[in-house]
């Protein structure tokens, strides 16, 4: 089970190739679709070859007490289900994963749900879920001898890639849309020493340019078309199942941008089920911003059979993506698990983000679509009061401090965006106030609030 026996299987035509034979853009030579890492016949193995679920569960728990660097990673702790390296000594880790699962008591009460949790992937080393994917794919880049790695990004992928490349001693190239990513993320790419190019284009334009570049230069592509990214990003599914003592929640709600994360989590739960580690999968629902909702449209119009790109607009810059690469994989996960695909407005995102902040968690706007989506699903009767729900929060609140400050100052949204939500928005705003330097002046502010 520890042998590196993986192949890459095309998601479109089923063609199989060796990992080392992938083209630089990770597209299938036959049909142009994306690949998935495949561990042939895991589920069908018999006898000694068949993994023992009890032994794996015990081993993974024991590793939480280990002093080995690899064991302290919440990704490589599960390395029996990640045999993508010839030598695990090549793994590049920043102690990613092992992120908290918080109970959201107040929000649960407000929504009339018994069990509501937030799996906070923003608590990873660079502040987003991308670290779990980056440790996996960048380790493959190192093992294969690349000197340069690159990604196009709305900010978090570039922050994660730059950090892991720096740890591994590799050079990194970042393409980001000029003026359309949060400062916190841009500053990270610079801090970790990436060569950072701001293109006068959007995310989709950056992807187009980078796809050409990797065909012309020996640079390893670390966008989520790289199937090894998804191998790392499937591990929060293992953490969630472990946290629920190998049962699974009824619902997992995930933000949708380029749609790799929902695909990866679906793969994680599918593998756990195939290996007999869990009995069923949660319903996995994907939430997009209304202005960047190509999968929502595709599911509504043709049940995910085809997808028309859109020109994307949303203040949740992380998910400002109009032509998501992994839409086919995500559509399959939603259908296989009987989940839903829905979109939420700018005001709904802003309100949900403020509510998560008021629970003492905080997250970036793209993560808050999960709570906004849950409210809709609950209102439509698609989530029952006795069901267990996990929201996947993808990024740390400090990633986009500008958004939060504008929200509380009341300068975030324009009039058409606030439509119908003015009072709710006002009730949540806690702007900082300028006060005379005297106890009486400060106490009068406190009295004003408590009155
Ligand atoms: N949430 C955050 C905070 C993100 O940064 C992203 C994607 C998503 C959700 C959506 O995940 O693309 O797998 O559906 N950010 C990418 C980036 C695209 O470049 O950082 P997805």
Encode pLDDT of 209-254 as tens digits: 999 999 999 999 999 999 999 999 999 999 999 999 999 999 999 9
**Whether the predicted pLDDT of 46 surpasses 80:** no
Could you tell me which residues come within 8 angstroms of residue 42 by beta carbon, excluding any fewer than 6 positions away? Answer: 51, 271, 274, 275
Instruction: Let me know: does 426 contact 350? Beta carbons within 8 Å.
Output: no
- Kindly tell me the burial class for residue 244, based on how many C-beta atoms sit within 10 Å of its own C-beta (0-12, 13-18, 19 or more): middle
Mutate to test the pocket of ligand 1, among 319, 329, 393 (most ligand atoms within 8 A of CB): 319
293 Cα: distance to centroid of ligand 1 (angstroms): 14
Distance from Cα 52 to the centre of ligand 1, integer Å: 34
Q: What is the DSSP string of 56-75?
A: HHHHHHHGGG---HHHHSTT
Pocket test for ligand 1, best of 34, 126, 155, 156 (most atoms within 8 A of CB): 156
Q: What is the DSSP string of 388-418?
A: EEEEEE-B-GGGGHHHHHHHHHT-SS-HHHH
pLDDT score of 180: 86
Question: How far does the centroid of ligand 1 lie from the alpha carbon of residue 43, in Å?
Answer: 31
Averaged pLDDT for residues 274-292:
97
- pLDDT value at residue 444: 95
Q: What angle do CA 293, 405, 424 make, to 5 degrees?
A: 65
User: What CA–CA distance (Å, rounded) separates 26 from 49?
Assistant: 30
> Atom 12 in ligand 1: which residue has the minimum CA distance?
258
CA 157 – ligand 1 centroid, Å: 7
DSSP letter string over 106-119? Answer: HHHHHHT-SEEEEE
Sheet holding 148-152, edge to edge: 195-199, 171-177, 148-152, 219-221
Which residues share a beta bridge with 129?
none
**pLDDT value at 339 more than 60:** yes
Strand-pair partners of 120: 393
Structure tokens at 427: 């009730």
CA distance 252 to 330: 13
pTM of the model: 0.96
pLDDT at 3: 62
Q: What's the whole-number average pLDDT of the chain?
A: 96
Per-residue model confidence as pLDDT tens digits over 14-34: 999 999 999 999 999 999 999
Strands (E) across 31-164 are located at 35-38, 101-103, 115-120, 148-152
Q: What is the dihedral of CA 134, 138, 140, 144, to 10 degrees?
A: 170
Share of the chain residues as helix, strand and coil, in percent rounded to the nearest 5: 50, 15, 40
Ligand 1 pocket: which residues have CB below 6 Å? Answer: 128, 130, 153-157, 224, 255-261, 318-319, 364, 366-367, 394-395
Q: What is the largest CA-CA distance in the chain?
A: 76
- Asked if 259 and 327 count as a contact pair (C-beta separation under 8 A), the reply is yes
**DSSP β-bridge partners for residue 375:** none
Q: Tell the residue nearest (CA) to atom 19 of ligand 1.
A: 153
How deeply is 35 buried, as exposed, middle or buried, from its count of CB atoms within 10 A (0-12, 13-18, 19+)?
A: buried
Beta pairing partners, 221:
150
Given a cut of 50, whether residue 1 has pLDDT beyond it is no
Q: Is the pLDDT at 73 greater than 80, yes or no?
A: yes
Q: What is the mean pLDDT of residues 336-352?
A: 98
The pLDDT of residue 43 is: 64
Strands 251-255 and 283-289: parallel
What's the distance, CA 149 to chain centroid? 20
Dist. CA 383–CA 391, nearest whole Å: 13
Specify the ligand 1 atom closest to the Cα of 330.
14
The model's pLDDT over 87-133, given as tens digits with 9 standing for 90+, comes to 999 999 999 999 999 999 999 999 999 999 999 999 999 999 999 99
Residue 255 CA: nearest ligand 1 atom is: 9
Above pLDDT 70, what percent of the chain? 97
Average pLDDT of the segment spanning 305-309: 97
For residue 350, how far is its CA from the centre of ligand 1 (angstroms)? 17
32 exposure class (CB count in 10 Å sphere: 0-12, 13-18, 19+):
exposed
**Whose Cα sits closest to atom 6 in ligand 1?**
318
Supply the residue whose CA is at minimum distance from atom 15 of ligand 1: 318
- What pLDDT shows up at residue 51? 79
**Closest Cα to residue 342, out of 385, 285, 291?**
285
pLDDT tens-digit readout, 375-406 = 999 999 999 999 999 999 999 999 999 999 99
- C-beta neighbour count of 171 within 10 angstroms: 15
Ligand 1 geometric centre to CA of 155 (Å):
8
Separation of alpha carbons 387 and 33, rounded Å: 36
Distance 142 CA to ligand 1 centre (A): 24
Residues 6+ apart with CB under 8 A from 423: none
| Residue 183, pLDDT score | 94
Strand partners, 392: 119
């Amino acid at each position: 089970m520890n042998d590196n026996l993986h192949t890459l299987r095309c998601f479109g035509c089923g063609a199989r190739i060796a990992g080392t034979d992938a083209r630089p853009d990770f597209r299938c030579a036959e049909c142009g679709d994306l690949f998935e890492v495949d561990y042939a016949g895991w589920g069908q193995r018999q006898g000694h070859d068949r993994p023992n679920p009890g032994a794996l569960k015990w081993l993974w728990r024991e590793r939480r007490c280990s002093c080995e660097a690899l064991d302290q990673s919440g990704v490589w702790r599960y390395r029996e289900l990640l045999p993508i390296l010839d030598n695990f000594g090549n793994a590049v880790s920043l102690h990613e994963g092992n992120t908290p699962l918080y109970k959201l008591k107040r929000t649960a009460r407000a929504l009339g749900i018994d069990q509501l949790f937030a799996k906070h992937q923003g608590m990873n080393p660079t502040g987003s879920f991308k670290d779990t994917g980056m440790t996996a794919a960048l380790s493959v880049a190192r093992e294969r001898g690349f000197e340069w790695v690159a990604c196009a990004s709305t900010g978090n992928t570039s922050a994660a890639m730059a950090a892991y490349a720096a740890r591994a001693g590799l050079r990194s190239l970042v393409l980001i849309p000029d003026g359309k990513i949060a400062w916190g993320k841009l500053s990270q790419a610079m801090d970790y020493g990436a060569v950072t190019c701001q293109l006068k284009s959007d995310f989709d334009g950056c992807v187009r340019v980078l796809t050409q570049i990797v065909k012309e230069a020996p640079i390893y592509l670390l966008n989520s078309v790289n199937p090894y990214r998804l191998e790392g990003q499937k591990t929060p599914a293992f953490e969630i199942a472990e946290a629920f003592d190998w049962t699974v929640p009824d619902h997992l709600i995930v933000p949708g941008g380029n749609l790799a994360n929902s695909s990866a989590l679906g793969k994680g739960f599918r593998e756990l089920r195939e290996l007999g580690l869990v009995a069923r999968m949660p319903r996995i629902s994907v939430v997009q911003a209304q202005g960047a909702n190509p999968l929502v449209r595709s599911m509504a119009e043709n049940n995910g059979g085809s997808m028309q790109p859109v020109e994307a607009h949303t203040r949740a810059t992380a998910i400002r993506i109009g032509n998501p690469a992994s839409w086919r994989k995500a559509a399959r996960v939603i259908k296989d698990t009987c989940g839903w695909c829905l979109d939420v407005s700018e005001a709904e995102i802003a309100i949900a983000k403020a509510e998560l902040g008021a629970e003492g968690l905080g997250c970036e706007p793209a993560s808050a679509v999960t709570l906004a989506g849950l409210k809709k699903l609950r209102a439509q009767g698609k989530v029952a009061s006795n069901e267990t729900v996990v929201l996947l929060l993808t990024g740390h609140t400090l990633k986009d401090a500008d958004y939060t400050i504008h929200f509380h100052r009341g300068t975030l949204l324009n009039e058409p965006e606030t439509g119908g939500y003015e009072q709710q928005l006002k009730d949540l705003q806690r702007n900082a106030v300028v006060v005379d330097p005297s106890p009486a002046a400060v106490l009068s502010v406190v009295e004003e609030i408590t009155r």
